[in-house]
Each structure stands twice: as C-alpha cells, then as structure tokens.
Amino acid sequence: MKKWMLMLCFLLFFDVQMIGGMRDKTSLSTFRQAGMPVELFQKMGMKAQDMEQYLGFWEDLKYFPVAGRKEAPKEVFYFEDTWLEDRNYGGKRAHQGCDVFGKEDRREYYPVVSMTDGVVETVGWLPLGGWRIGIRSPGGGFFYYAHLSSYEKEFQEGDAVKAGEILGFLGDTGYGEEGTRGKFPCHLHVGIYVKTQKEAEHALNPYPVLLFLQSRQKNFFY
C-alpha cells in the first residue's frame, strides 16, 4: 500500500512539473513571437511572470529615445542597469528607471524622441524629474521621459504622439523648484510603468527595452 501511495505521489509531482514546464515553453514562444529578446531577460534573472509585464506594449516599441545629430553620425549613447539603486534627493529611495547619457554634456543638443505611438498623459514640471513628459502607448505602457532641457512644442494632455516624434531635448533639469538646472550631468531618465491588479503604475526596469531598441536602431539622427 505504501509503495502505491509513493508511486501516486511521484506521478502527481511529475505531472505538475510537466504542466509547469509546458506553460513556460508556451510563454517563451509567445514572447518570441512578439519579438522580445527572451535570452536577454533570462540573463537578467527574469522569469516568465516578469517578462509577461512587458508583453502588452512590446510591439509598440519603435525607436531609441535619444537621437544623434547629423553632424555626428557615429554618436554613441551610454546607459547602465541602475535599476533600484539608491538615490537620495527627496529622501532615500530606489531608482525606478534608467539614465541615458550622450558623449556631449550639453543642453539642447540631443533630441529626445518618443519610443512609441501614444497619448500624452502628463507634462510639465516635477521637482524630482524637472521638465518631463509621460506618454501612454496603445498597449498600455506608460513611458516617462525626465530632465528635459526644453520641449519641442507646447504639448497638452491628450495630444497624440507618433513614434519617433521629437518630444524635447536632453538636459539637466530637476531636483528643485521650477527651472532648477545643473544639479547633475545632462541625461535622460527613462521610466516605464504598467497597470497591474495591485498597482495603478507598476515600475518596470527599462534596461532590456533600451538594449533592444539600441540594437535595432543604430543610425537614427536629426
């Protein structure tokens, strides 16, 4: 009797593992069909349930968020995976984004472009983000671009935006009252958020998104 019970438990455990494995394989296949770099996510330690949060907006992604200039065709942009690193302005907090730097530490030099089509949901000054703009893509991703030096035009909430459209210029605004500049080098802070059952704006690590867009859009200039 004990042997039969042990055998039954083994078979049940084996079935659960098989079903779980099949689900993972199905999920990975779905991610690949959407064009997601599965191996990159896995290398970063992300599981299927983590990758699933990117799936809704992945096919919205078109352009790297900072463009080069025509007179500098070999421009390279730099960013690192600083997800959840400590930040201190406004109290100790975690860095919910990724910072993109150009070779030149200059305001009004690099155009910042929309990574996706979408609709403007937030625009204007924030003490932390300086001049910023937030765009909701068709797939539900909220893309946050901060520390702009200026805007390309007077955006209003509800305005439609096309992927590749210039939003403004990379800068160093923020960490103070409206108009504050110069507290850090010029860069673009990129944040990505999605709605979940628990959070209206759940933060995702933008690093794999930026790597993906940089690899497919190497020569995008204004």
Q: Does domain 63-216 have CATH number 3.40.50.720?
A: no
**Amino acid letter, 152:** E
Closest CA to 145 of 217, 82, 66, 49: 66
Segments of the chain assigned E as strands: 86-87, 93-94, 98-100, 111-113, 118-126, 130-136, 142-151, 160-161, 166-170, 188-194, 202-204
Residue with tokens 């730097």: 101
Domain boundaries of the chain, sorted by first residue: 2-54, 63-216
Q: How far apart are CA 222 and CA 216, in angstroms?
A: 17
pTM for the full model? Answer: 0.86
**Tens place of pLDDT per residue across the chain (222 aa):** 545 444 444 444 444 344 344 444 547 999 999 999 999 999 999 999 999 999 999 999 999 999 988 777 678 899 999 998 898 887 888 999 999 999 999 999 999 999 999 999 999 999 999 999 999 999 999 999 999 999 999 999 999 999 999 999 999 999 999 999 999 999 999 999 999 999 999 999 999 999 999 987 655 566
Structure-block tokens of residue 67: 């463009």
